[in-house]
Amino acid sequence: MSWKTGPASSKGAAKFTDGDRVHHQKYGPGSIIATEKTPSGQKVTIRFDGEDRERNFLTMYTPLTKL
């Protein structure tokens, strides 16, 4: 399920899309399962490998690396 709300803002294209594989320094590798455009920037929902729960992050504050 995706929560995309429309095209990327005029500041540029969205940095991440559903299905992207990413790496977080603390949580390790995972898959983006949803993205959302918010007033604070792009929000991503990630399910990290080996975890049963999902975590939400604002990409402007979270160092994520695409794999």
What single letter denotes the amino acid at residue 31? S
* Positions of the chain with pLDDT under 50: 1-12
- pLDDT value for 13: 52
- pLDDT value for 8: 38
Given strand 41-48, what is the order of strands in its sheet?
54-58, 41-48, 28-38, 21-24, 64-66
- pLDDT value for 14: 63
